[in-house]
Amino acid sequence: MSELSAEVLARRQQLPSKPAPVQLRGAAGAAIVELRPLDLDRDTEALHAVSCGAAFSLGARSAPAYDPDDQVWRWMSGGPFADAAALRRWLGYQVDAADGLPLTVSVAGAPVGVANYLANQPAHLKIELGSIWYGPIAQRTGVSAEVTRLMLQHAFDLGYRRVEWKCDAQNQRSRRAALAYGFAFEGVQDAHYIVKRRNRDTAWFRMLDREWPSSSDRLRAYAAARGWPAG
């Protein structure tokens, strides 16, 4: 067991318990992807519109009416939400979390989803990407990959050694995404939570700082290949 350097250990004192607000910007194909701290007054109505099951259009893309439980909320701790007020209450817990930071994901200036830094543990230089969801308008594009790349880059630039990704073990879409984005599978924790009156076994994935350089280029290429269409 090797002792960590003084420089690595010192980072623990430099990172706040609640991640500091940040704005991140990148591109997925023809679209500009932006992340900014979730503002309940500014963002809630638009986030509800993109995730409530109603048909939605943005630029050259359109999503027909859909089942919001099946397409967005099945594996989340909340939702579907009958109205924006209910969504706001749920998002409010994320805004207030002492160890988390929710970020609104926007494409071409329009909110399309939310991604969180969660379970921040500066003492161990690790943090989680979680409670991530997108309306169908942004699904199966390069948006998720670009958001993940931006958040990973920021976390490792801050000095974290480990970034985690966890999901319901039955959530095959999330599991496939984690592997495609370069996370390593570490196993399943049985009976980890009770969510929506159901048992949840949790699949654990992680990326380490030493693995990030090779994964960064891979994620950038993935986002570009599956990117938002022009027009």
Task: Give the right CATH number for 18-225 from 3.40.630.30, 2.40.37.20, 1.10.10.10, 3.30.530.20.
Answer: 3.40.630.30
Task: In whole angstroms, give the CA distance from residue 141 to residue 170.
Answer: 22
Q: Say whether pLDDT at 153 is over 70.
A: yes
pLDDT digits (tens, 9 = 90+) for 65-90: 999 999 999 999 999 999 999 999 99
pLDDT digits (tens, 9 = 90+) for 88-118: 999 999 999 999 999 999 998 999 999 999 9
Task: In whole angstroms, give the CA distance from residue 142 to residue 158.
Answer: 24
pLDDT digits (tens, 9 = 90+) for 24-35: 999 988 889 999
pTM: 0.96
Closest CA relative to residue 38, chosen from 128, 133, 178: 133
Q: Say whether pLDDT at 190 is over 90.
A: yes
Give the mean pLDDT of the chain: 95
Q: Give the distance from CA 195 to its chain's centroid.
A: 19
Confidence of residue 231 (pLDDT cuts 50, 70, 90): low
Task: In whole angstroms, give the CA distance from residue 207 to residue 160.
Answer: 10
Q: What is the per-residue pLDDT for 150?
A: 97
> What is the residue extent of each domain of the chain?
18-225
